[in-house]
Chains A and B, each alone.
Chain A
């Protein structure tokens, strides 16, 4: 075993580090970026950060140079993300654009479309959203009902999407629709991309328990999309959607805050009734548990990097990291507030330690356990794809979609 980078990796890491030091502010325990998700100032700041990375040669690290990328591997991309995580950078507004839309476009779009959209996206000019989930299709994505009907050279779209991150500021969208309700559910889907400024789109923000509105409902009434913006064949939308989801961030460098370092710092600086919190046995027991989990996730990433460096494809084993991290964040948020006792409920960032990181996380964490694969779906993935347990008995696979029970 060898935790050191190869000379090539080390050179890239040093270059990335040096560039970040010149262009971003280093992160200290408890520090947070100046704008949170939901604050309007964040969007231009995030675009500016992407533009800066593009100019510096650190956008689309694993993407081909001809589309504005750096032409390196996934490994370099992870190294950069690791280094980036040590700095105060905007929350990942572009993760859907870079992690989902761009790989899908590169796989299915025409050469002309790739040239038109990919570099612009990497430069931060265009933000994408992903219109997948619907009121009737969340974890059960293929249950979606938004209709696409062919009309000459266009398709006419009617329906409703939900949980669309960033629809209110996105420039472009990728979307799965139902083009054939008489086919079995996975076989009647078709996939498109389109401009979010098109007529027929109504965006309504969903206010979350945190008070912010990162997500939206998107209503489409007679939205017209040219057939040239179809990705994949008619009826092949499920396969294209799988491409998109397979590319969902393998491992972004963003660490969920608060994590172990934050709660460790809080325990060292908080006085309890009998002395510092760090000296309390109950606190120490929790810290030990969170450390082995944080460390375990970090080391599982090291194994992933080892696999990538050998040219292997990462498997579903990496579902572990998301599951463990999002739950731990909620636990740490709870516990951090408990350490602060009666004052733990204070949300005023001027009064609460670490600018109310724990209180904010308490409200953000439930969403983290649902988005990008809920805890339950990830446990299904682990048990079916890793352990090889039989799938749940399905009643919805062979029937025509319009004959499935819907509960309404």
Chain B
């Protein structure tokens, strides 16, 4: 039994923490929040690429570091802790993973080296507006090698060079995935105002855009779900990092803020609130660690582990972000204090791959299938 990260992984974490404390302080996050012209922190992105983080799990033959999913989890937790305003999740957890999972040898050679180096950015376009995305309701269609339709919101769609697009064949058939060059003249992109402006999102309209199939035809939804499962584990680490940051902030504030002649952290009303955040965060961390193990070993249990990590981490981060504001009292809901940066990010991340309700349902479906010895 060794349910912990390795010594090397702790070194990686220390390196990541030091780098991000230095390069992704609240001021850097605020710069993206407050200036609409800044989509992401380019200096930070380049720095992460130089450290090799962007290509962590990309095999060495395609220019990556060839490390395991566990290593990427270690980095993800630190990104979440510092709210790093970069397209990391879109390009690394989604586009890169989709190519690794479904790309042809040629596609891998063509895309992965630039992705791993951070020279090109990818994103994934699934959602078509408010409401649950599912295979039957896809309005975006790919017919005769061109795509028509609108995807919104697409995280990092404004800065990405290409998108992995889920599109149906028309006539209610099963959708497939396609690679689309976003610089194509038939693609238009419009910024969308989001709950968390530190992460840019756009509406992308494809007007007969040229599309290259990714993976088998008709397997788009299956591949998307598999990519989302893996991304859910990585995002759970971002969420755990964010929840821990909120808990640290609230604890620090409760120790130093005095009212009624004593530190507010000596009142049980505050203590018990913070204990509850700690509990939720530890349960999420435990589930996320299990997910990391499933990711690194490609365990058959991965979809269950992913859903459990996703649900636990979404609940923990939303709780921590909400109660962090409450602990800060009046200052907590000011623009000036950083609490709202986490509050926004917590909600955004818990929606990014589908909401909590959806993932809870998926979790129970996986458990049912496991219990009857079948697959979902």
Contact = CB atoms under 8 A, between A and B. Distances in A.
B362 to A, nearest CB: 9
A295 B361 contact: no
B289 A3 contact: no
A1 B367 contact: no
A278 interface: yes
Given A291-B308, A320-B279, A383-B272, A302 B3 contact: yes
Nearest to A287: B364
Interface string A185-213: 00000000000000000000000000000
Given A320-B282, A388-B255, A292 B311 contact: yes
Contacts of B296: 1
Contacts of A384: 271
A387 interface: yes
Interface in A4-51: 4-6, 9
A3 B279 contact: no
Interface string B278-320: 1100111011011011001000000000011001100100000
A296 B305 CA distance: 11
Given A292-B311, A296-B284, A390 B255 contact: yes
Given A1-B2, A303-B3, A296 B368 contact: no
B274 A387 contact: yes
Contact of A296 (B287, B361, B363): B287
B120 interface: no
A197 B289 CA distance: 52
Interface string B1-21: 111110000000000000000
Contact of A379 (B247, B271, B315, B367): B271
A389 interface: yes
Interface in A263-285: 264, 268, 278, 281, 284-285
A173 to B, nearest CB: 33
Contacts of A380: 268, 271-272, 275
Contacts of B268: 376, 379-380, 392
Interface in B179-217: none
Interface string B244-271: 0001000100110000001101101011
B278 A386 contact: yes
Contact of B367 (A6, A264, A390, A392): A264
A379 B292 contact: no
Interface string A210-228: 0000000000000000000
Nearest to A309: B1
Interface residues of B, number: 47
A100 B49 CA distance: 55
Interface string A222-259: 00000000000000000000000000000000000000
Contacts of B308: 291-292, 295
A325 B4 CA distance: 23
Nearest to B283: A296
Nearest to A79: B1
B276 interface: yes
A36 B10 CA distance: 47
A289 B255 CA distance: 31
25 contacts: A6-B1, A285-B361, A287-B364, A288-B311, A289-B311, A291-B367, A292-B312, A293-B283, A295-B287, A296-B283, A296-B287, A302-B286, A305-B3, A320-B278, A320-B283, A379-B268, A383-B265, A383-B271, A383-B272, A387-B251, A389-B265, A389-B271, A390-B255, A390-B265, A392-B266
Interface of A: 1-6, 9, 75, 264, 268, 278, 281, 284-285, 287-289, 291-293, 295-297, 299-300, 302-303, 305-306, 309, 317, 320, 323-324, 376, 378-380, 382-384, 386-393
